[in-house]
Structure 1
Amino acid sequence: MAQQTVLVPLVPIQGRPRRNGCVLPGVACRRHARLGPVNNSCSMKCLVRSHPLFRQIGNDDFELILEKARHLELPSHETLFRQGDEAQRFYLVIDGAIKLFRIFDSGMESVVGNATALQAVGEYDVFTRGGRYDCFAETTRPTRLIGFSAPLYLQLARKNNTTALALVEYLAEKRSSHYSEIETITICNARQRVISYLKKLCEDNDNRLMGISGNQGLVLPVPKYQIAAYLGMKPETFSRVLAALQKDGVIQINRREIVITDPDLLDAGQD
């Protein structure tokens, strides 16, 4: 099935704040700043504004970026870009999920990351890797994205110090987070890796849900086998660790939903 590419349906935000609605033009709606699926009360513009790469951009430059943006609707298992392709665009996931992976000369595949609602993909390659993607990006379920022109963003960043600083801060934070993930995967045992991953999901509003008796819960954003590959373990190992955590009273599992029944035990289990 071929990908569909159309202009982004950007709806102007007008009028007074409404219940469950957005607020001011050019300002990220606080209520929807971390939501995944687009709903009728929050425009695409509001969602884009909520991402760190766009929060500090002036209104005129922001409108210009949106004019050149493209909305993609991809089915499951569709390739977004390939390792080695020229990187002319970076993308923001609106809803769905993207698997990032590399294929080595030996033919082996290594999962290097996952992206879900309101996470960017391809931006690190565009801005720091000489303009070529260093991995493959493939949808793992039907996914909507917005593609942005990398040359235009860089052009605007060169003439605006605030935009340039926001870009540097974003890339520095992402690199620091990447190093922390590498440390977790290479040094920690399987149980510690799974706990670290669950704690990271708990910090992400996109994956939270109200658990049993008000306990903190979360939804696994991608299939378990994909999480296992990212954490450097076999799917059965990942499942065994989850089962052990449930037996110890740390979590409760209902398919993709996990409720943290004892946060203190979760913290203690990482030591």
Structure 2
Amino acid sequence: MKEVLKKISFFKDFSEEELEELSKICILRTYEKDEILFYEGENSEYLHLLIKGNLKIYKVNSKGVEIVLHRFNAMNFVAELANYANIAFPASAKFLSTSSVIKIHFQSLKDRFLNKTSFVLTLLSALSQKLIYMSDFVHNEMILSAEAKLAKLLCEQSELFASIKHNQLASFINMAPETFSRLLAKLKNDDIIEINNKQVIIKDMNYLKSLYEG
């Protein structure tokens, strides 16, 4: 475990002794696609660091429909606010591919290492980024139309279309697959985008941006 921690930038300022001590409160686990990291309502005993793969954070509404709050790629802490606030996880996490996670016993980490300035700043930076994500999510869900959400996805994460199925992409922006396919076809027919072998070619970036930037 110590050798794994050495390669992670979050721990670059840790001494050999500190890495050895940290390794004793860490568990390295591998998960398969569709496995659950945690469910909404579970206790947040461990701080989770995603070091390989990707996962989604989601909630399920009263109709049983998944609402995707965010998608994480490595290297990222996951749902660390629950650890800081000592609350149950406010949402669930499911893996989108084979992934690896370091589970760090949070109380032990807090007792020993949260007086280490560089590490605390790293955690605060990660938490700040999550708040930005949440603000963006609220804006997308409350303000943007379905067409605008698709346009934003195309402009900011077009590379996802090469590796992820359209129904999964639809779930990322909380859109019905049928709506996603219809809007995507419309953009192709209107010569706004082109898709060749799953590669998206944006032919009119200004038009797409106008849909969500206003």
TM tier relative to shorter chain: 0.7 to 0.9
Check the 8 A contact 1:80/1:137 in 2, yes or no: yes
Alignment of 1:191-210 (within 5 A): 191-201=147-157
The 3 A distance-change label for structure 1 pair 119 and 197 is farther
The 3 A distance-change label for structure 1 pair 159 and 112 is same
Structure 2 length-normalised TM: 0.79
In structure 1, what residue type is equivalent to 2:79? G
Structure 1 stretches lacking a partner, 5+ long: 1-7, 12-43, 202-216
Structure 1 residue aligned with 2:36: 79
Check the 8 A contact 2:49/2:103 in 1, yes or no: yes
Note if 1:165 corresponds to 2:121.
yes
CA drift of 1:99 comes to 2.6
What SS does the corresponding residue of 2:98 show, helix, strand or coil?
strand
CA drift of 1:56 comes to 6.8
Structure 1 residue aligned with 2:160: 219
Give the helix-richer structure, 1 or 2. 2
CA drift of 1:67 comes to 4.4
CA drift of 1:232 comes to 2.7
In structure 2, what residue type is equivalent to 1:147? K
In structure 1, what residue type is equivalent to 2:72? A
Q: Counterparts of 1:121 and 1:169 in 2: how far apart (Å)?
A: 13
CA drift of 1:55 comes to 5.9
The 3 A distance-change label for structure 1 pair 187 and 118 is same
Check the 8 A contact 1:89/1:122 in 2, yes or no: no
Q: Of 197, 200, 207, which residue of structure 2 is paired with 1:258?
A: 200
Check the 8 A contact 1:156/1:163 in 2, yes or no: no
Q: Counterparts of 2:180 and 2:147 in 1: how far apart (Å)?
A: 8
The 3 A distance-change label for structure 1 pair 261 and 92 is farther
The 3 A distance-change label for structure 1 pair 104 and 250 is closer
Q: Counterparts of 1:254 and 1:118 in 2: how far apart (Å)?
A: 30
**C-alpha RMSD over aligned residues:** 3.0
Structure 1 length-normalised TM: 0.65
Residues 138-162 of structure 1: per-residue CA shift (max 9 Å, x gap) = 2233223222232233334531233
Alignment of 1:222-261 (within 5 A): 222-254=164-196, 257-261=199-203
Q: Counterparts of 2:81 and 2:194 in 1: how far apart (Å)?
A: 36
Q: Of 131, 149, 161, which residue of structure 2 is paired with 1:175?
A: 131
Residues 193-226 of structure 1: per-residue CA shift (max 9 Å, x gap) = 122233332xxxxxxxxxxxxxxx6134654323
Which of 1 and 2 has higher RCO (CA within 8 Å, sep 6+)?
A: 2
The 3 A distance-change label for structure 1 pair 107 and 247 is closer
Check the 8 A contact 1:81/1:138 in 2, yes or no: yes
Aligned pairs, number = 211
Note if 1:88 corresponds to 2:45.
yes
